[in-house]
């Protein structure tokens, strides 16, 4: 079976990239921009909040190893989907929680997963994640790729990303989802 792709926005793409790169069956994770109206946006335009795009990741995965539904579970763990247009100190529409589906199957699975997340008691507040069709994904600039791996001592990586990665690893240490 050939690889498939999924697109998620869960705050800073450096954080979500770092987590999804650890997932068994994930072949690649590309940071970029999606969900907005501007053509070929760059990082500074997206950060201005005027493009409508969210920082997002495109996840290429092997469906024989991991299913889209499992990636959705990783998505819920990778960020706080109950805060609108915000993840921690990162504030703005570019940091919103969003699932960008590519077909009816992904849409249905995303909606079902969101309903389960809301009813599970996993979150103290309602999930505010948007679910919308993927119209385009614009790859981020090269320096965003593998940001956490390439900059482990950068303050944002030490203070924000490292604890998220550690929490994800601890929560999933006994599960087959980690490479």
Instruction: Name the residue among 11, 30, 26 with its Cα closest to residue 179.
Output: 26
Active-site residue, 12 included = yes
The catalytic position among 12, 15, 47, 157 is 12
Q: What is the b/e burial string over 59-95, where b = at least 16 CB atoms within 10 angstroms of the residue's CB? A: bebeeeebebebbbbbbbbbbbbbbebbbeebeebbb
CA distance 165 to 162: 5
So which residues are the catalytic ones? 12
């Amino acid at each position: 079976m050939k690889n498939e792709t999924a697109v998620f926005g869960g705050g800073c793409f450096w954080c979500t990239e770092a987590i999804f790169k650890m997932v068994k069956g994930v072949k690649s994770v590309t940071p970029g921009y999606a969900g907005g109206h501007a053509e070929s946006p760059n990082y500074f335009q997206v950060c201005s909040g005027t493009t409508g795009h969210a920082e997002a990741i495109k996840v290429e995965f092997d469906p024989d190893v991991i299913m889209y539904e499992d990636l959705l579970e990783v998505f819920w763990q990778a960020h706080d989907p109950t805060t609108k247009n915000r993840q921690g100190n990162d504030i703005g529409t570019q940091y919103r929680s969003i699932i960008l589906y590519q077909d009816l199957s992904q849409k249905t699975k995303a909606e079902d997963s969101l309903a389960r997340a809301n009813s599970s008691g996993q979150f103290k507040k309602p999930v505010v994640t948007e679910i919308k069709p993927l119209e385009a994904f614009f790859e981020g600039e090269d320096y965003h790729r593998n940001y956490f791996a390439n900059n482990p001592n950068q303050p944002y990586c030490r203070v924000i990303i490292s604890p998220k990665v550690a929490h994800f690893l601890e929560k999933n240490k006994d599960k087959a989802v980690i490479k």
